[in-house]
Structure 1
C-alpha cells in the first residue's frame, strides 16, 4: 500500500494520546466540543507548519515566525480598528479583505527581507531569524505602544471560528462531499499518470482501501463537528436574527466545520501541490538534498531561498488573521512561543533537520499532536511549566526516534 511507516507511527502516537487523555479526564477529551476546540486551536500553528516544512527541507530554520505573527496581527488590527473606519466607515464589507491583504503584504515583505539577508548576503538563517524574533516582537509593541487592539471587524472575526465562524451542518456535508470527490479524483488521476509513464502502481484494492479510509475520516470529522450544538442562548439569538420559530425544547443548531479548518485545508492543498507538483517544489528538495549540486545544476539557490522565506511570511500573515480573529483582538503577546510549536510540529511530522526530507501532511499531524498534548494536559490540570517540560521532552524524543529510523534505513 506504500504507506509511510513514520506516518503510521504518528497516527498511532496520536491515538494513544487521545485515548490516554480521554481515560484520565473521564471521557471529556474525545467529545465533539473538545475536538471542535482542538481543531480551532491547531489551525494557526498548522498553517505556519506548512511553510516551516520548506524552510527545514532547505536546511534553514525560522525562529521569528511567532514574532512575525504578532506584528502582522497588530498591523491588521490597527488597519481595521483605527485607519479604515476613518475612510470606509465601521463594519464596511471590504474592511476584512483590505486588512487581510495588507497583512499578507507586510508578512511577505518581512519574509523577503529575511530571505534576501539569508540568501544573498549569506548570513545564517539561525542568526537572521533570531534577530527577527527580537525585532518583530519589539515592532509589535511599537505599533500601538503596548495597547491591545479591539474590537476587530465582525466579518474578519469569522476567520477565527467560534459560534459564528462555522459553515453550519448542511454546508459541512457539502464540504465533505467535495473532499471525498477530491480524494477519489486525485486517486484516479495519480494512478492514471503513473500508468502513462509506465511506473509501477499499487493494486487496485490498495487504492480503494486508502481512498476509503481517507473518505471515512472526512465523514467522521464532519459528523463530529455537526454533533456539537450551539449553546441555547446563542441559538436563540440566531433564531431572532433570522426570524426562525423556536420550539418548546429549544433549537438544536449544529456548529459544523469551523472556517479556520477550511483555511488550513486550502493552505495544505496549495502547499502540497507547490511542494510535489511544481518546479519550485522540486528545486526546494534538490537544495535540501545537496545545495552545491543544486547550484551546479543551474538552480538559483539565492533567489529560491528568498522565495521560500516570502512564502513563510505570507503563511505567518494568514495565521495572524486566524489567531487574532479567534481572540477577537490583537495583543502584544500574540504568537509568543509559536515558533517553538511550529518547529516542533514540523520535526515531529517527519522533517529532517539535515534537510531534504519533509511532508506537508506530516507537519499537519505534528501540529495536531502538539496541540493535543497541550489541550489534554490543560484538561487534566497540569501546571503550565510542567506542560513545557513534557512538550520539550517529546520534541527531543521525536528527533531521536527520527534519527534512529533514518540510520536504520540508511538515510543520512
Structure 2
C-alpha cells in the first residue's frame, strides 16, 4: 500500500491596509506570531508611515524617529510595502480576495467638524489639514489653502490645537532641525498671525493637551498666553497673543463683513479671519470598510478604524497587537486545503511604490535639506516620481505570490 501525504497549506497571505503606525506595528506583531506569513502593507500614499510622517508636528523629530523601527519591519523579510494604492480607486474590496486575511488600519484622516450650524460663507479649516500641509503630505498637492489671517479662532483643547499654536508662534531659529515644509509655511503666512482665541467646550480640568506640550508652548519667546483671563506666560508685547477660554461650547458659526463669527452657548461672540477646528478626526472610508467586511470572510479593524480615535504611538502598538492576535486566531480556525488565490497584480500595478523606493527617497530628501532643516520633503506625486527616475529606480510589476 502506498502512503499518501496530506496536502500542505501554503503560507498565509495577509494584507494590511494602511502603512501608518498601527499598520506597521500590526505587521511587526504578525511577523512574530506567524513567521511564515506573507504580509503586504498597502497605503494610498506613495510613501509609508502615514500619521508619523504627515500628522505629527514637524518640529517633534524625536517622536518621528520611531520610523527607524518601522524600517526594520520591511527590511527583515516577509513584509512588503506597496504605496500609491488607494482602496476604492486602484483596489476594490473584492480584489483583496487574493489574501487569506485583511487588516484595516486605515486611520482617521478627515477633520471632525463642529456639530453646529455653519454658514457656508464662513471660513472653517481643519487643524489636521494644516498640519498635513506643513508636513508635505503628497495627497494634498495642489491644495488651494492660503494665508490663514492675522486673527484666528480655534475650537479644541487637545494636543493638535497646541501643535498648531506652537507652529504658528515659532521663529525660524526655533524651527531649526525640523522638516517643516517652508513653502507651505509661507503660503499659510504663519508669521502674520497676531492673535489666537482658543475655545474649550468644557472646564479647564477637561483639557486634553499634555502638560508638557503646554509648557513647551509657554516657553516660547514670541507668545503671550492667558487662560480665562489669567496671564500664564509671556509679555503683552509678544508677537502672538493666545487667549484660551474654557466652558465655551460652540453654538453657531457665521460669516459677517468678511470675518468668521463664532457664537457660543454662553452668549459670547468671537471674531476672526478663520475658525480652525481641532476636535479630532473621523474616517474618510467608512463605506469601503463596511464593504470589505461584507465581501471578505476574514477582516479585522485596527486602531482608529476600530476605536474612532487616533491614539498615541503607545496606544497604536497595543491596538496593533490586538488586531494581529485576532487575525491569527481567525486564520488558525481556517482548515483550508491549498488553493491558488487570485493575484491583484493588475489592480496594484497602477501607481505603486515599494520600500526600496522609499529608501531612495528618504536619502534624497535628507541630501537636499537646506540650512536648519533635517530634510526637504518631496510634496507631490510628480516630484516623487521625478526623484525616483533620477535615482534610477525601476518599478517592477507586482505579483503578491512572489516574495
Scaled by the length of structure 2, what TM-score is found? 0.25
Instruction: Point out the structure with the larger helix share.
Output: 1
| Larger RCO of the pair (alpha carbons < 8 Å, separation 6+) | 1
Larger radius of gyration: 2
